[in-house]
Amino acid sequence: MAEQLLYEGKAKKVFATDEEGVLVHRYKDAATAFNAQKRGSWKDKGRTNATVSSTIFAYLEAHGVLTHFVEQVDEAAIKTRKLEMLPIEVVVRNIAAGSLAKRLGYEEGTKLKAPIVELCYKDDDLGDPMVNWYHFRELGVSDEDLEFCEELGLKVNEILTPFFDERGVTLVDFKIEVGRDDDGRLMLADEISPDTCRFWDKETGEKLDKDRFRRDMGGLVEAYTEVARRLGIMNEMENVATKGPKLVQ
């Protein structure tokens, strides 16, 4: 399969393929935080995130969520549908942490009365600010698209909260993105992984996500690997995620 580099992002490279409307996302071991002011990388991050994200996308597809996921190509790469991305980051929260804890003055770990959805304008130069529907209308985003984003965020949360709970992980919050295909269909895109979610061990509260990098806590390989292990996609012998989603049920 011929692959032509279209775009290199902070954590992945995106390639065109010779299949019409299909891209390959190749996950890197690199990590950034705080709008790329902090940089790092660790072993097997790309492979683990690609496999965790594939597993979650396949699970969501099996539960009625349309996504860009086509198939996992190898341990670090995923075939996706080519989409026109909305300039939106949809954040859904079950427990106060990170910027919400600061915004509301809540102690981190406070359970929210109901899930909170936030829409952020995806723009690195601006630091992805949270904005409201009026701002998005000004930016040319339709109300229908905003409604889709909020409903999708809540639906993904409804499916993934029990999925992780059964695997001993609390889904604290997460970020998703949405894109539109050539037929005008909106769908879930980007990735769902320890880079884009807060995962806390249900028993101990231990952080199993990118906050360990953001907050210099160490134990990154172990935390990301543990998420893969909880999803049952870990090859214990090699200590890396194995190829392919296996969890659709």
Q: Which chain residues interact with ligand 5GP by CB under 6 A?
A: 89, 91, 97-100, 128, 173-175, 195-198, 210
CB 21 within 8 A of CB 81: yes
Cβ of residue 175: shortest distance to ligand 5GP, in angstroms?
A: 3
Nearer to ligand 5GP, 27 or 174 (CB): 174
The size of the chain, in residues, is 249
Find out whether 46 and 29 touch, Cβ atoms under 8 Å: yes
If the CB atoms of residues 100 and 187 are measured against ligand 5GP, the closer one turns out to be 100
Q: How far is CA 169 from CA 151, 157, 166, 214, 224, in A?
A: 23, 13, 7, 20, 12
Contacts of 146-149 with C-beta under 8 Å, sequence gap 24+, read 146/88, 146/119, 148/178, 148/186, 149/86, 149/88, 149/90, 149/119, 149/178
- Whichever of 75 and 173 has its CB closer to ligand 5GP, that residue is 173
d(CA 48, CA 229): 10
Please state the closest distance from residue 128 (CB atom) to ligand 5GP, in A: 5
Whether 75 and 67 have beta carbons less than 8 Å apart is answered as: no
Q: Is the Cβ of residue 63 or residue 121 nearer to ligand 5GP in the bound state? A: 121
Q: Which is nearer to ligand 5GP, 167 or 246 (CB)?
A: 167
Residue number, 80 or 196, with CB nearest to ligand 5GP? 196
* Cβ-proximal residue to ligand 5GP, closest one: 98
- In angstroms, what is the minimal distance from the CB of 18 to ligand 5GP? 30
Nearest-approach distance from CB 212 to ligand 5GP, in angstroms:
12
Minimum distance of ligand 5GP from residue 182's CB (angstroms): 26
Query: What is the amino acid identity at position 208?
Result: L
Least distance to ligand 5GP from the beta carbon of 39, Å? 13
With a CB cutoff of 8 Å and minimum separation 6, the contacts of 190 are: 176, 177, 196
Comparison of 36 and 237: residue with beta carbon closer to ligand 5GP: 36
Tokens of 242: 């194995």
Q: How far is the CB of 1 from ligand 5GP (least distance, A)?
A: 27
